[in-house]
A and B are shown apart, each in its own frame.
Chain A
Amino acid sequence: MNKQSLPYTIGFTFFISFLFVLFLSFAHHTTAPRVERNREVTRQRSILSALGVETSGPDQIQEAFREVKEIEREGITLFRLDDGETGVYAKEFIGSGVWGPIEGVLAVTGDLARTRGLEIVDQTETPGLGGRITEGWFKEQLRDLRIVEGTIRVAAPGEGDTDKENGKIDAITGATRTSERMGVIFKNELERIASALGVEL
């Protein structure tokens, strides 16, 4: 058979493409549930972390997430965890950072007296400066922080504000603008959560 002839070339190209694509579809199909579960677990882990629930491993995450109820009010989706008191509410957010969007989850108590926690899901801030919003010390500042005058104040740069009653957190040294943007995000999100829950800030 002449391997350089037109019919062979077309036939070969068609056949080889068919073969490879068939195999790829098969691979995609068999792993799809797993990929979907990974995505779900990643999202659940962030929400749980903001709600202050410590987890490790996919099974434990899914187990713990059964306690969390998804509710929708005023077109805003919140995740509620019952704590025996006012409940804790987490909201996913996308805000604008310096270079691109900052995605994360912010959790507050049901009476909006305190924040419960913060988790950053995705961001493209300057690595080593604004990118430090993903570091533990920064997020830890919002663990059970009292909300004063309906907002969280981002104060002068520092190494982390451990006072939980003053309603303010330290900005990141050298990343003034990212810190400012985080302040704006907190303000907007608190207002949204307040309107969804029908609670005065």
Chain B
Amino acid sequence: MSSPKEIMRENLWTNNPIFMQILGICSALAVTNLMINTLIMTLGVVFVTAMSNLTVSLMKSLIPRKVRMIVQTLIIAFYVIIVDILLRAYLPDISRALGPYVGLIITNCIIMGRAEAFAQSNPPVLSLWDGVTSGMGYMGVLMTIAFVRELLGFGTVLGFPVLPSGFEPWIIMVTPPSAFFLLGIIIWIGKTIMNKEGATA
């Protein structure tokens, strides 16, 4: 069994859900035009991954094998709807900005992937930790993309203007295709660094 430190390193870097496992790409494209939206959305993912991992791990001995996947989906959907309800009630503006994407957290393959690959066969607290770190790995990449897109597309960082007034916004950065380019570049850089690490280690 891996130690918490190893799990963190794996989920944040060497086995990062986005650039190593190439999971959860769809949402990476859709919600990364503003950092604040990305932050809230990825916090939602961290919460859902952590809680569903915890729940699956707690219940793993009770779940019949035949309905394992469907129960996992049920658990994930449950937490996603909770997040959606909370946002609607307490952060209406962000809920409106995120639109259908909160509901779409359900379809994020990372969550199901962790429940199936980790929580099914590990103790609850470690599973919770795995969920948190996986979500953070996802958050790290998305926030990087959102940072570049918001900076170049609007000239702002978290809504604060940081570039001089003569700045010419990059229209393409506001539109989803730019996330394709940026994600590709991040995967490219990430793998190049990893290959170098691998060569020296």
Do the two chains touch directly in the complex (Cβ atoms below 8 Å apart)? yes
Taking the closest CB of chain A, its distance from the CB of B38, in whole angstroms, is: 15
Q: Which of A117-137 contact B (CB under 8 A)?
A: 126-129, 131
Among listed B58-66, B133-141, B156-164, interface-contacting one: B58-66
Q: In the complex the two chains form, what is the Cα distance from A131 to B175 in whole Å?
A: 11
The answer to whether the Cβ of A35 comes within 8 Å of any Cβ in the partner chain is yes
Closest A residue to B70 by CB, please name it: A13
The answer to whether the Cβ of B96 comes within 8 Å of any Cβ in the partner chain is yes
Q: In the complex the two chains form, what is the Cα distance from A127 to B75 in whole Å?
A: 36
Instruction: Pick the residue among B62, B70, B85 that contacts A31 (CB under 8 A).
Output: B85
Kindly list chain B residues whose C-beta atoms are within 8 Å of the C-beta of A35. Answer: 85, 88-89, 92
Contact B82 A127 (CB under 8 A): no
Q: In the complex the two chains form, what is the Cα distance from A44 to B104 in whole Å?
A: 29
Give the size range of B's interface with the partner.
20 to 34
The answer to whether the Cβ of B33 comes within 8 Å of any Cβ in the partner chain is yes
Closest A residue to B64 by CB, please name it: A9
Q: In the complex the two chains form, what is the Cα distance from A20 to B79 in whole Å?
A: 10
> Known contacts A16-B71, A128-B174; is A3 also within 8 Å of B64 by CB?
yes
The interface of chain B, by Cβ under 8 A from chain A, is: 33, 61-67, 70-71, 74-75, 78, 81-82, 85-86, 88-90, 92, 96, 153, 169, 171, 174-175
Closest A-B pairs by Cβ, 9 of them: A127-B174, A38-B92, A31-B89, A9-B64, A128-B171, A34-B89, A20-B78, A128-B174, A35-B88
Between-chain CB contacts (< 8 Å), 26 pairs: A9-B64, A9-B66, A9-B67, A12-B64, A12-B67, A16-B71, A16-B74, A20-B78, A23-B78, A27-B81, A27-B85, A28-B85, A31-B86, A34-B89, A34-B90, A35-B85, A35-B92, A38-B89, A41-B92, A42-B92, A42-B96, A127-B33, A127-B153, A127-B174, A127-B175, A131-B174
